[in-house]
Structure 1
Amino acid sequence: MKVISVLNEKGGCGKTTIATNLARGLQLAGESVLLIDSDVQGSARDWGAAQETVDTPVVVGMDRPTLHEDVSRVGEGNDLVVIDGAARAEKMQTSAIKASDLVLIPVQPSAYDIWSSETLVELVEARREVTGRPKAAFVVSRQIVGTNLAAEAQEALESFDLPVLEGRTSQRVIYAEAAAQGLSVVDLDSSSKAAGEVRQITEDTLEILNSQIAKTNGTTQ
């Protein structure tokens, strides 16, 4: 079982949108997936309860800073666990980092959002110095189509010495429409541009995890 956390200290950066759509994307890629909502606001839990007709991942609420102790038990039997992180909760973030094999950091293309990610990056790096994990990568989130902000943000993020996923989300109405129905954008319209964005994020995530497995096994991809 591998654990992926979607974390950022800043609220409103698209964590839940990425976590729910990624969990569903991984499931559609053939993985058995559990989604953990670690935010007391419970947005991912609301998403999971919004419909009963599509076999989306099971959502479990765990909003205490014991994720690193509990996730192996709660996630038993699944290939992957996706944690939707809590904003402004350092203890929860630290626990999620300890539990994770991969941390995805959604960042909106603005200087304020990039600056706010520095503390989280430091927490990840401190954990890596002790255990060698988790891997981490940025995800440009809620980019405005037709502007150069995302490209400028990617250049700024590269100064953190962490990779930036090729996949990114844009400000599209379909994300809100899908969330309200408890679906991913792939379920709502598989031919949409948003669905293509989610597929790319899913592909990038699996590539990182597979490279990690290959390194552990002493093989190359």
Structure 2
Amino acid sequence: MITIALVSQKGGSGKTTLATHLAAKATQAGYVTCLIDTDPQATAAAWGDWRGKTDPEVITAPPARLARVIEDAQKLGAEFLVIDTPPFAEAAAREAVKAADVVLIPCRPRAFDLHAIQATADLIRSTRKAAYVVFNATPPRAPALIADASKMVESFGLEVAPMSLAERAAFNHSTANGRTAVETEPRGKAAEEIDQLWKWLCERASTPPQKHASGKAL
């Protein structure tokens, strides 16, 4: 079973949007997928409600029960787990990182957001888990901004994913309907970016980007 954790100590980084898109992409790729929402605001769980009975399965879990929920999901046949975490909650982030095979740190390439990454970097350093910053909501055609932000992130001892997600209406419009940009605009730029991130993530997790025809509910 592959477990991906989305962590960031700053709110508004796009964790939930990225978590829902990756969970839906894993389902589309044929993996039995579970999205675990540890945020008290339960935004990912709300997305699951809006989505209806369509996979992936979305489960809420307080950080203290995360390990048990993951164990139960694996017993029920889960092949791919995505953990969404709340901001400003070190305990929740620590539990998610501990359980993860790969950690993704969504971040807007802005000064305040980059400064907030230092706390997450300290947490990652203590666990020695594979972790990558994913620049999110970036202005289109801003290579200099991304390059400068990448240098700052690397100075914290973190690696940067080779692709970023631009600020696109397709992300917001699709999640508001319990869907993803890949589903609502499969030929759009947002879907292309998610597809690139998914393939790269599968390489990091040593798992094929396409497993079988369709996932099954837990």
Asked if Structure 1 and Structure 2 have the same fold, meaning a TM-score greater than 0.5 normalized by the shorter chain, the answer is: yes
In structure 2, the gaps of 5 or more residues are 208-218
Kept in 1: contact 2:121–2:157 (CA 8 A): no
TM superposition score normalised by structure 1: 0.87
Q: How many angstroms apart in 1 are the aligned matches of 2:125 and 2:71? A: 22
Q: How many angstroms apart in 2 are the aligned matches of 1:65 and 1:141? A: 29
Displacement of 1:69: 4.2
Q: Secondary structure at the match of 1:170?
A: coil
TM superposition score normalised by structure 2: 0.88
Q: How many angstroms apart in 1 are the aligned matches of 2:195 and 2:127? A: 29
**2:55 — aligned with what?**
56
Q: How does 1:99-178 map to 2 (within 5 A)?
A: 99-128=99-128, 134-147=129-142, 148-178=144-174
**2:179 — aligned with what?**
183
**1:112-153 Cα deviation digits (max 9, x unpaired):** 11111111111121122xxxxx21111001101133322321
Kept in 2: contact 1:69–1:99 (CA 8 A): no
Number of equivalent positions: 205
Q: Aligned pair 1:68/2:67, yes or no?
A: yes
Structure of greater relative contact order (alpha carbons < 8 Å, 6+ residues apart):
2
| Matching residue's letter, 1:40 | P
**2:39 — aligned with what?**
39
Q: Secondary structure at the match of 1:66?
A: helix
Q: Aligned pair 1:209/2:205, yes or no?
A: yes
- Percent of paired sites with the same residue: 32
Kept in 2: contact 1:33–1:79 (CA 8 A): yes
**1:143-168 Cα deviation digits (max 9, x unpaired):** 01133322321222222333211232
Q: How many angstroms apart in 2 are the aligned matches of 1:69 and 1:125? A: 25
In structure 1, the gaps of 5 or more residues are 129-133, 212-221
